[in-house]
Amino acid sequence: MGMVEISDTEIALLLSGFFWPFCRIAGFIMVDPFFGTRTIPRQVRVATAIALTIIIAPLLPAMPEAPVISAEGLANIFYQVIIGAAMGMVMRLVIAAVEMAGMLMSMQMGLGFAMFFDPQFGAQVPALSRFLSTFVFLLFLAMDGHLVLISALVDSFRILPVGLESIPKASFKVLAEWGAKIFSLGFLLSIPVVGALLITNLAIGVMTRAAPQFNIFTFGFPLTLTIGFIALYFSIPAFAHVIGEIYEQNIQAMLQLLSTIKTP
């Protein structure tokens, strides 16, 4: 039997068929809040990217014939990593909004000094923010969010096939606009607790005005802390519905971002 000969061109085409999708998937996993968390070792993230590439690559359309080791190939690597990272950044906004909501709640409840190390962002955050972000991660898993992300990642190759097109400025504008929603979403999630504490502080102000002999530091802090936790307890069941809607909006934002890149 004769030996099967494979030319360099065939090897390059076979390599590009897996390498280009790997670049986009790796960029997505690097930034995505679930797969890209710092608590997951880098070896596991790389292995996950390779496994997803092996599964997804046979389902994708034909890849560009540009060699990997070339100027066009390096430009394509850059584009695919940026596209994947932009998609992951849109999903990271959910966690950032929850962190913002926890910070607003903590400041109103008087827990702003209770800081906790967050391995997700590698910085000190309020303990309440860490609690809410963990809760949102559990909701994400309960709603099969990780499977939805993988499905959206597969759809991204259908909406925006791998190519050598440059990224237009309009796509960065879409990403920046969604970044601005961190503050609005954070305020929306914190409204029940902040509203209850606002009424509580107004009541404390009226009480201290009517009876100046009361020491505000004696009963004010325990009262605001108690009211804050009670409001948080009753508002947490509504988080599942709100967070689910925010995740759906972010998935649509990812597809909108890809459409913007495709049609500058």
Q: If you compute the radius of gyration of the chain from its CA atoms, what whole number of angstroms results? A: 24
The pLDDT assigned to 2 comes to 46
What number is the average pLDDT over the span 119-126?
67
Provide mean pLDDT across the span 142-155: 80
Q: Name residue, tokens 């309440």.
A: 128
Query: Does residue 112 have a pLDDT over 60?
Result: yes
Residue 4 has pLDDT above 70, yes or no: no
> What is the spatial distance between Cα 165 and Cα 160, in angstroms, rounded to a whole number?
10
* Cα-based distances in Å from 59 to 97, 183, 231, 232: 35, 39, 48, 45
Single-letter code of the amino acid located at 71: A
* 49/56 Cα distance (integer angstroms): 10
pLDDT score, position 11: 60
Q: Can you give the pLDDT at residue 191? A: 87
Predicted confidence (pLDDT) per residue in 153-191, tens digit = 888 888 777 765 556 666 667 667 777 777 778 888 888
Residues 204/223, Cβ–Cβ less than 8 Å = yes
On the CB side of 139, how many CA atoms lie within 13 Å of its CA? 21
When pLDDT is averaged across residues 70-85 and rounded to a whole number, the result is 79
Give 43-59 pLDDT, tens digit per residue: 888 888 888 888 888 87
CA distance 18 to 9: 15
Residues in the chain: 264
Give how far Cα 239 sits from Cα of 153, 177, 180, Å: 26, 23, 21
Kindly state the helix (H) or strand (E) to which residue 166 belongs, with its residue range. none
- At residue 263 the predicted structure's pLDDT band, cuts being 50, 70 and 90, is low
Q: Is it the case that residue 195 has pLDDT exceeding 50?
A: yes
At residue 1, the pLDDT reads: 42
Higher per-residue confidence, 261 vs 77: 77
Residue pLDDT, tens place only, 17-28: 788 888 888 888
Mean pLDDT, all residues of the chain:
76
The overall pTM is greater than 0.85: no
The DSSP-derived string for 192-214 is HHHHHHHHHHHHHHHHHHH-TTS
What SS3 class is residue 33? coil
